[in-house]
Amino acid sequence: MGLPHRTWLEPLVLVASLPSVPRLTMMADAPTVVGSWWRRSLARLVGGVLLVPRRAAGGARGFGQHVTAVGRVLEAGAIFSVFPEVGPPARPPAFRRVSPAVAYFALRTGRPLVPAVFGGTHDLFLRRPVALRFLAPIEPPRPAPPHGSAAERAAADRLIAELLERATPVAAELHEETGVGVGARRRWRWLQGGFPRHGEAE
């Protein structure tokens, strides 16, 4: 799982950093992926994409369908990745809110969370330094608590807390490592696309 997710670059950096086998499959919002030709092209470069329709079934039933789809990807021997942040942009190096869904994926499939933390992807231009660091796996409890129980909710909260405890200082460190300075020449700013720049000076 990757964070922070600020621009289109993180999925490509993740793909370039992993072997072609086993295959990487990512979860993404369907309208976002298929909404333009260049996003469709990026999806093909990424490899497998598990599309989530905007009008997917809601509630426990809808989420259960997502868990089933993720489980099938993992059982097929692929690597599954998701960018779990939700909500409005956050000023680097802070994360946006992390959806608890990623913790439930781990709890219900029995697979660990492996954080992939990015730095330098928030402000794109030619030859901009970026960084990626994989952290140690975070194992879900075994045996897994019953689905929908208070014990499962508590376990999900603990997984998210541990994830943030590990990833937050690394994100800050990578943000510093990839800083380019206020006076740096920023060419090809169109690489940023429509993503927010946060108005920050590094």
Mean pLDDT in residue range 19-23 = 85
- Dihedral angle, C-alpha 148, 160, 122, 132, nearest 10 °: -120
Which has more confidence, 190 or 125? 125
Q: How far is residue 173's CA from residue 22's CA, in Å, rounded to a whole number?
A: 30
Long-range contact list for 168-172, CB < 8 A, 24+ apart?
A: 168/95, 170/115, 170/117, 170/133, 170/135, 171/3, 171/4, 171/93, 171/94, 171/95, 171/117, 171/118, 171/119, 172/93
Q: What is the pTM of this model?
A: 0.86
Going by pLDDT thresholds of 50, 70 and 90, the confidence category of residue 35 is low
Which has more confidence, 158 or 199? 158
pLDDT at 5 over 60: yes
Q: What percent of the chain has pLDDT over 70?
A: 84
Domain residue spans of the chain = 2-192
Q: How far is residue 135's CA from residue 118's CA, in Å, rounded to a whole number?
A: 11
Going by pLDDT thresholds of 50, 70 and 90, the confidence category of residue 28 is confident
pLDDT per residue as tens digits for the range 69-110: 999 999 999 999 999 999 998 999 999 999 999 999 999 999
Structure tokens at 71: 């489980």
- Closest by CA to 108, choosing from 165, 159, 51, is 159
